[in-house]
């Protein structure tokens, strides 16, 4: 197979998967697209936290048909290998695959050079594994080795540009999530070639570190090993308040950038002020336990203005949207729960959950849609009306889920309203816990900012 050739079959599949991806996500935000070079050989180097969703975030939202390099052990004989090659995925053999297998990398590197020579794009995860956390793993040497070898074999005439990519998910597996894809300024391999000629190992390490630093600026990377879970909890509880305290308007991209700043400060405080960090973590856990006790979310306490009016307005919206919800639920419940329940029970690594949901959207949902249309076709007159019903099934599923989200928010507001009305002690305890936590974090972060400036 000639990986460097444009594939119409790949293009058609890409458009179909792009539609499925749109159904799954609430919003996809791209930044830094101007950093992707034109008419240059490119290697995309993204962080890796969410299995198949990560390559989808790049290949579905760029003009390229990127050729991915993946570990060789996923290439099984038969249809799987044929499918992987159709998807422009090439095997890279590691020492663990057997020393005798390493020679096969010569063909992979040769094909990689052809891709780059034709100004197509390669893609490779520098971490060589996914973390399933907002925490970047240490980088391996694969990316520098491949680009240096490609330049060496091409007599340093390629001018490869490595494009660092930071991928962020509002949730790693929930339906209707937001994904943010940040393309960073390209790293030119040419800038490291002189050092590579005199000290190849030093150049490899320098390029590896440069890639890590570039990606680190583009994603949320909680570096703490001890307090990762605690800092993630603080981000969820305090993040929107921190954004508001900075005087910035709420948007997904603003919240992402604010959360990145917040987690960076928390990491710094672990080193500078460990005792105070331990104290604020205990208060965050206590506040979170109160929220669980009353089955509430922190944002409800922060957005109480006109709560009763919002409840009434949402109820009207829910009533008006009920017929659409019922249509969407009826025609999407079977494939949704047939995927959701087994995946949650059987798949231990949550990073793969979104992969199964995407695969289900590509394969299972269309099959079930056709079977359901066949089952009710006797009640639907005319071929065009039948096709209209079929076309409405995926859209109604997306709308039905949003209806369900509005229902959850309305129910949450109702619980808070009842708590405030009938359990003032519990409400005051909850509000006091939030205020104390936020005030302590405000002071800690303000002093941390001052210390950084000094």
* Domain assignment of residue 221, yes or no: no
Are 79 and 136 found together in one domain?
yes
Q: Which domain holds residue 59?
A: 8-216
Question: Last residue of some domain: 165, 187, 216?
Answer: 216
Mean pLDDT, to the nearest integer, of 438-454?
A: 74
**Owner of token pair 């025609």:** 331
Nearest to 67 by CA among 16, 9, 115, 18: 115
Rounded to the nearest 5°, which phi and psi values hold at 25? -95, 145
Q: How far is CA 261 from CA 193, 284, 437, in A?
A: 34, 19, 18
Are 85 and 189 found together in one domain?
yes
User: Residue 370 has what pLDDT?
Assistant: 97
For the cut 80, the answer to whether the pLDDT of residue 346 exceeds it is yes
Structure confidence at residue 422 as a pLDDT band (50, 70, 90): very high
Question: Last residue of some domain: 176, 191, 216?
Answer: 216
For residue 195, the cross-strand partners are: none
* Domain assignment of residue 161, yes or no: yes
23-41: pLDDT as tens digits: 999 999 999 999 999 889 9
* Domain assignment of residue 127, yes or no: yes
Concatenated DSSP letters for 210-228? Answer: HHHHHHHTTS-----SSSH
Structure confidence at residue 223 as a pLDDT band (50, 70, 90): very high
Are 332 and 292 found together in one domain?
no
Give the percent of the chain with pLDDT over 90: 73
**Owner of token pair 């000094």:** 454
User: Residue 449 has what pLDDT?
Assistant: 62
- Rounded Cα distance between 243 and 164, Å, is 26
174-192: pLDDT as tens digits: 899 999 999 999 999 999 9
Nearest to 18 by CA among 57, 52, 54: 57
For residue 178, the cross-strand partners are: 27
* Domain assignment of residue 136, yes or no: yes
Are 188 and 276 found together in one domain?
no
* Domain assignment of residue 202, yes or no: yes
Mean pLDDT, to the nearest integer, of 356-385?
A: 94
* Domain assignment of residue 427, yes or no: no
Which helix (H) or strand (E) covers residue 366, if one does?
A: helix 365-376
Are 202 and 339 found together in one domain?
no
* Domain assignment of residue 3, yes or no: no
Concatenated DSSP letters for 276-337? Answer: HHHHHHHHHHHHHHHHHHTT--HHHHH--TTHHHHHHHHHHHHHHHHHHHHHHHHHHHHHHH
User: Residue 454 has what pLDDT?
Assistant: 35
Are 317 and 416 found together in one domain?
yes
Are 262 and 386 found together in one domain?
no
- Rounded Cα distance between 120 and 249, Å, is 39
Q: 97 and 75 in contact (C-beta within 8 Å)?
A: no
Question: Last residue of some domain: 185, 216, 247?
Answer: 216
Mean pLDDT, to the nearest integer, of 184-207?
A: 96
Are 408 and 260 found together in one domain?
no
Are 66 and 48 found together in one domain?
yes
* Domain assignment of residue 222, yes or no: no
Are 182 and 63 found together in one domain?
yes
For the cut 60, the answer to whether the pLDDT of residue 345 exceeds it is yes
309-331: pLDDT as tens digits: 999 999 999 999 999 999 999 99
Here the CATH number for the domain that contains residue 157 is 3.40.1130.10
Nearest to 317 by CA among 413, 414, 404, 415: 404
User: Residue 1 has what pLDDT?
Assistant: 60
Are 207 and 273 found together in one domain?
no
Q: How many domains does the chain fold into?
A: 3
User: Residue 453 has what pLDDT?
Assistant: 41
Q: 226 and 288 in contact (C-beta within 8 Å)?
A: no
Are 28 and 143 found together in one domain?
yes
């Amino acid at each position: 197979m000639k990986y460097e050739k444009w594939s119409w079959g790949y293009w058609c599949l890409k458009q179909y998967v792009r539609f499925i991806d749109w159904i799954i996500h609430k919003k996809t935000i791209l930044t830094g697209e101007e950093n992707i070079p034109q008419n240059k050989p490119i290697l995309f180097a993204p962080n890796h936290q969410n299995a198949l969703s990560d390559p989808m975030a790049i290949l579905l939202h760029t003009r390229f048909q990127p050729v991915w390099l993946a570990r060789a052990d996923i290439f099984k004989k038969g249809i799987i290998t044929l499918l992987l090659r159709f998807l422009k995925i090439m095997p890279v053999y590691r020492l663990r695959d057997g020393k005798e297998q390493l020679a096969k990398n010569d063909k992979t590197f040769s094909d990689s050079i052809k891709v780059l020579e034709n100004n197509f794009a390669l893609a490779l995860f520098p971490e060589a594994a996914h973390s399933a956390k907002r925490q970047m793993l240490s980088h391996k040497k694969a990316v520098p080795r491949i680009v240096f070898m490609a330049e060496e074999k091409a007599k340093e005439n390629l001018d490869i540009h490595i494009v660092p990519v930071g991928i962020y998910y509002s949730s790693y597996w929930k339906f209707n999530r937001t994904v943010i894809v940040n393309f960073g300024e390209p790293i030119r391999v040419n800038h490291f070639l002189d050092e590579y000629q005199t000290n190849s190992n030093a150049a490899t390490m320098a390029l590896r570190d440069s890639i890590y630093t570039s990606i680190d600026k583009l994603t949320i990377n909680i570096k703490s090993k001890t307090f990762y879970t605690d800092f993630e909890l603080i981000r969820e509880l305090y993040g929107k308040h921190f954004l508001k305290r900075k005087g910035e308007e709420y948007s997904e991209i603003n919240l992402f950038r604010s959360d990145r700043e917040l987690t960076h400060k928390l990491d710094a405080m672990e080193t500078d002020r460990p005792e105070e960090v331990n104290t604020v973590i205990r208060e965050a856990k206590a506040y979170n336990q109160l929220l669980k006790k009353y089955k509430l979310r922190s944002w409800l306490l922060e957005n109480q203005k006109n709560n009763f009016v919002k409840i009434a307005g949402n109820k009207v919206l829910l009533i008006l949207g009920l017929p659409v919800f019922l249509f969407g639920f009826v025609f999407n419940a079977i494939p949704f729960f047939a995927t959701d329940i087994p995946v949650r029970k059987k798949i231990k690594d949550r990073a793969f959950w979104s992969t199964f949901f995407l695969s289900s959207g590509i394969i299972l949902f269309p099959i079930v849609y056709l079977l359901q249309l066949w089952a009710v076709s006797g009640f639907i007159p005319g071929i065009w009306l039948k096709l209209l019903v079929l076309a409405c099934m995926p859209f109604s599923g997306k709308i039905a889920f949003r209806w369900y989200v509005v229902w959850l928010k309305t129910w949450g507001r109702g619980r808070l309203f009842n708590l405030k009305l009938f359990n003032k002690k519990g409400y005051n305890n909850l509000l006091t816990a939030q205020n104390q936590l936020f005030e302590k974090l405000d002071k800690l972060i303000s002093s941390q900012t001052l210390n950084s400036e000094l």
